Chains A and B, each alone.
Chain A
């Protein structure tokens, strides 16, 4: 039974694996740029998961077509809307994080978090 689920839900499995990769990169990697990439992998994995959950095989994208008013022709639009909102959030967070990294790089000339922490320690009492 278990293997059966694993086999049919391969998109969700991929999403979970990607999420773990992104999460651990964000947590453990010392390079700030790679952390941001990890964050993006993590968020994209969630979007993949949501998109897979909203998809119904054989149906159209949830965009109303002339003459086709039957809701059963379309896939579930809610996860798509959630993905869109999630993308907006993820883009703004990425932009903010990149701006901070840029500021740190200008000041310390490195992207390595430990080195930056070491350098800041000397600055203040």
Chain B
């Protein structure tokens, strides 16, 4: 067995150990342990990706070498490796860029714990990406939820704690649905491993038995995970949580945490129900409609928002709508587009949140857009970063957001029933995106700051912040211009699922 086969397990184990160890050390060491481990995991994931790319295979790793029905399993293919790599890189860059803000926002005694939560968050995301056992997935969904709530609450103001409790309550509703669905699944099939479940589901699909329970299970799983990934109309918790947390948390939550649940849903589509059965159950159509509604409504909420961070949070609602629309299209290209958009949004939204933080820094820490007149001139790097992120979200060519829109359109051509609705909503959503991002850009660059008390505020970007932001901007260009290999990897990876 090649060394690469151990990488999924080692990655999960290293991050969870890093969390435990950082509990025993001081706050400075905790940050270093967390970032060091994440860097190692990113390198290992890149290695795994290269290995799978060369061999063109996927593999199953039996934990403790117990054979299938008894042991727990991990599975890795190109899709999983690419997602793990992206998530870890985004985590690292967000934490590096948000380091100073964490120091300012969180009580010194708790800063070590913040990095503990970030390690656990990465651990649970990696486990969601790699696991082959649906109950293990549930446990890590819960760990992910708790850690995500933790990094919101870490700032410890009335606003964040209230946002956290709302986030927690909504998440728990989702968890309840997921757990009852898994119990029903086990009651019907007697399996928890995805491969065995797929076998049983194929039989059930052929015989037509338990059609109603299967539909309910699929519905509960889809709704449960949709609540956690903030699909409209289950997004109500998101703006408060993402809008009030410290910059690194907002970046991580919008960039990667939402996506972990979507990837689990994709795996349930492919590996538990099988694509054709999942489509017969009509749940994809429901997600498609919610996705379209989310694209419009998320943007409309964002247009009305005057608080920059909440605006970005509502924009996330719209972008999650795009991803679910791609899944709901039920076409091969639509799926690839949805997965590409997971990557595109994962590198764009953290960039925007961190840029917003830099802009707030030169505007007296006000989140209100009106107080940011000319902030793009005062903090040049944050201004450029915000521009790149905004143009990518609107879908200007050369930026990553354009590529996903391009493929969404192509994907819709394969499904004539949904083509018209997709094209209309895509066009409308693009216009709406432009309607709230462009005025912000105008305010940032052309805004008159002569009367502003902050007009002489110089940007105090740390070297870490600069490096991470430049890396994010470069990633955005790379994904926007050299997207073909990524699309190819996703196509092959989805076939391997």
User: Which secondary structure dominates chain A's binding surface?
Assistant: helix
CA A35 to CA B176, docked complex, whole Å: 13
Contact with A along B160-190 (1 / 0, CB 8 A): 0110111011001101100110010011000
Contact with B along A106-123 (1 / 0, CB 8 A): 011000010011011001
CA A109 to CA B150, docked complex, whole Å: 22
Q: Is B153 close to A, CB under 8 A?
A: yes
- Chain A, interface size category, equals 35 or more
CA A96 to CA B441, docked complex, whole Å: 40
Q: Is B215 close to A, CB under 8 A?
A: no
Pick from A21-29, A56-64, A66-74 the stretch touching chain B.
A21-29
Q: Which one of B139, B159, B166 lies within 8 Å of A85 (CB-CB)? A: B139
Q: Is B366 close to A, CB under 8 A?
A: yes
CA A96 to CA B143, docked complex, whole Å: 12
A34: min CB distance to chain B, Å: 11
Q: Which residues of B contact A22 (CB under 8 A)?
A: 176
A46 with B179, Cβ < 8 A, contacts A35-B169, A85-B135 known = yes
CA A42 to CA B168, docked complex, whole Å: 15
Q: Is B149 close to A, CB under 8 A?
A: yes
Known contacts A19-B180, A117-B162, A123-B157, then 16 further A-B pairs from the complex at CB < 8 Å, ordered by chain A residue: A19-B176, A32-B165, A39-B172, A43-B176, A43-B179, A49-B183, A49-B187, A82-B135, A89-B138, A92-B146, A93-B146, A93-B172, A97-B168, A104-B165, A113-B165, A113-B166
CA A2 to CA B159, docked complex, whole Å: 51
Tell whether, in the assembled complex, residue B168 and residue A104 are in contact, meaning their CB atoms are under 8 Å apart: no
Q: Which residues of A contact B138 (CB under 8 A)?
A: 89
| Chain B positions 332-383 with a Cβ under 8 Å from a chain A Cβ | 366-368
Q: Is B142 close to A, CB under 8 A?
A: yes
Tell whether, in the assembled complex, residue A120 and residue B159 are in contact, meaning their CB atoms are under 8 Å apart: yes
Nearest neighbor of B143 in chain A, beta-carbon distance: A89
Tell whether, in the assembled complex, residue A46 and residue B159 are in contact, meaning their CB atoms are under 8 Å apart: no
Q: Which one of A43, A82, A107 lies within 8 Å of B161 (CB-CB)? A: A107
Tell whether, in the assembled complex, residue B176 and residue A39 are in contact, meaning their CB atoms are under 8 Å apart: yes
Q: Which one of B139, B176, B186 lies within 8 Å of A53 (CB-CB)? A: B186
Tell whether, in the assembled complex, residue B173 and residue A26 are in contact, meaning their CB atoms are under 8 Å apart: yes
Q: Which residues of B contact A93 (CB under 8 A)?
A: 142, 145-146, 168, 172, 175
CA A104 to CA B166, docked complex, whole Å: 12
Q: Is B200 close to A, CB under 8 A?
A: no
Q: Which residues of B contact A100 (CB under 8 A)?
A: 149, 153, 161, 164-165, 168
A117: min CB distance to chain B, Å: 7
Q: Is A124 close to B, CB under 8 A?
A: yes
Q: Which one of A86, A104, A123 lies within 8 Å of B179 (CB-CB)? A: A86
| Chain B positions 297-348 with a Cβ under 8 Å from a chain A Cβ | 307
Q: Is B453 close to A, CB under 8 A?
A: no
Q: Is B485 close to A, CB under 8 A?
A: no
Q: Which residues of A contact B187 (CB under 8 A)?
A: 49, 53
Q: Which residues of B contact A19 (CB under 8 A)?
A: 176, 180
CA A96 to CA B162, docked complex, whole Å: 13
Q: Is B158 close to A, CB under 8 A?
A: yes
B residues at A contact (CB < 8 Å): 135, 138-139, 142, 145-146, 149-150, 153, 156-159, 161-162, 164-166, 168-169, 172-173, 175-176, 179-180, 183, 186-187, 192, 244, 307, 366-368
Q: Which residues of A contact B166 (CB under 8 A)?
A: 113
Q: Is A50 close to B, CB under 8 A?
A: yes
21 A–B contacts from the bound complex (CB under 8 Å): A19-B180, A26-B169, A26-B173, A39-B176, A43-B176, A46-B183, A49-B183, A53-B186, A78-B186, A82-B135, A92-B142, A93-B145, A93-B168, A100-B165, A103-B161, A104-B162, A104-B165, A119-B158, A123-B158, A124-B159, A125-B366
Nearest neighbor of A19 in chain B, beta-carbon distance: B180
Q: Which residues of A contact B176 (CB under 8 A)?
A: 19, 22-23, 26, 39, 42-43, 46
Q: Is A101 close to B, CB under 8 A?
A: yes
Tell whether, in the assembled complex, residue A96 and residue B180 are in contact, meaning their CB atoms are under 8 Å apart: no
CA A104 to CA B150, docked complex, whole Å: 15
Nearest neighbor of B179 in chain A, beta-carbon distance: A46
Tell whether, in the assembled complex, residue B161 and residue A53 are in contact, meaning their CB atoms are under 8 Å apart: no
A103: min CB distance to chain B, Å: 5
CB-based closest 4 A-B pairs? A89-B142, A42-B176, A53-B187, A120-B162
Most chain A CB inside 10 Å of its own CB: which residue of B135, B172, B173, B180 = B172
A97 with B173, Cβ < 8 A, contacts A92-B146, A120-B159 known = no
Nearest neighbor of B182 in chain A, beta-carbon distance: A82
Tell whether, in the assembled complex, residue A82 and residue B146 are in contact, meaning their CB atoms are under 8 Å apart: no
Q: Which residues of A contact B145 (CB under 8 A)?
A: 93
Q: Which residues of B contact A119 (CB under 8 A)?
A: 158
Tell whether, in the assembled complex, residue A96 and residue B172 are in contact, meaning their CB atoms are under 8 Å apart: no
Nearest neighbor of B371 in chain A, beta-carbon distance: A125
Tell whether, in the assembled complex, residue A82 and residue B186 are in contact, meaning their CB atoms are under 8 Å apart: yes
A29: min CB distance to chain B, Å: 10
Tell whether, in the assembled complex, residue A79 and residue B186 are in contact, meaning their CB atoms are under 8 Å apart: yes
| Chain A positions 1-59 with a Cβ under 8 Å from a chain B Cβ | 19, 22-23, 26-27, 32, 35, 39, 42-43, 46, 49-50, 53
